[in-house]
Homo-oligomer: A and B are copies of this chain.
Amino acid sequence: MQTRGTLIRAAASVFDEFGYSGASITEIINRARVTRGALYFHFASKEDLANGVIDAQAEQVRVEPRELKLQELVDLTVTVARDLSADVVLRAGIRLAVEQGAFMSVRESPYMTWIDMCRRILEEARESHELLPHIVPADTAELVVGSFSGIQLLAQARSGRDDLRERVSTFWNHVLPGIAVPGVLARLDTSAVLPDESGSEPPTN
């Protein structure tokens, strides 16, 4: 298990730096400091490694349970925004998703992990009567994931992601009035500060 984790992190750092097509197995082996045999014991191919990174990225993200499920959804995006700079597995996962969407033809799952996660939270929000009646959780989940992908790319181009949290806050200020019932809307915190950060100033990245 430890070797597997080491290989995932090494593969993530290579995908993050060179993209899927530019990534070489040799470079991954070098960074992981394992033998080629050890790699192929755990992963059949480069694609298999990419899938390992994609599966691992979502496991990294932990969101505290909240009374309002829509607050959990906001927290999820703020957590990803916070962790992107420090977490190479998360960053590689997003690069694989964006590249695949734009220019590769692999399986479609890099996005699906996030879409499913958002859809489940939105379905819980529906059960808690937080959503306006016309909202379809599956459609809103795709909207959130699609928009977030683009917003973080734009943030990277404009500020090296320094203002990503601010942009996530702007996104929710624009979108929540179209999703949440008024009584819930008034109680949602879109300041992009997480519960475990309260009392301290929000970091800028």
Interface presence of A174 (CB below 8 A): yes
Bound-state CA distance A154–B146 (Å) is 6
Give every chain B residue within 8 A of A173 (Cβ-Cβ). 178
Interface presence of A202 (CB below 8 A): no
Interface-located stretch among A5-13, A45-53, A69-77, A98-106: A98-106
Decide if the interface of chain A is mainly helix, strand, loop or mixed: helix
Count copies of this chain in the complex: 2
Binding site for B on A (CB under 8 A): 19, 95, 97-103, 108, 110-111, 139-140, 142-143, 145-151, 153-158, 167, 170-171, 173-179
Quick one: which of B110, B155, B178 contacts A146, CB cutoff 8 A?
B155
Quick one: which of B101, B171, B174 contacts A154, CB cutoff 8 A?
B101
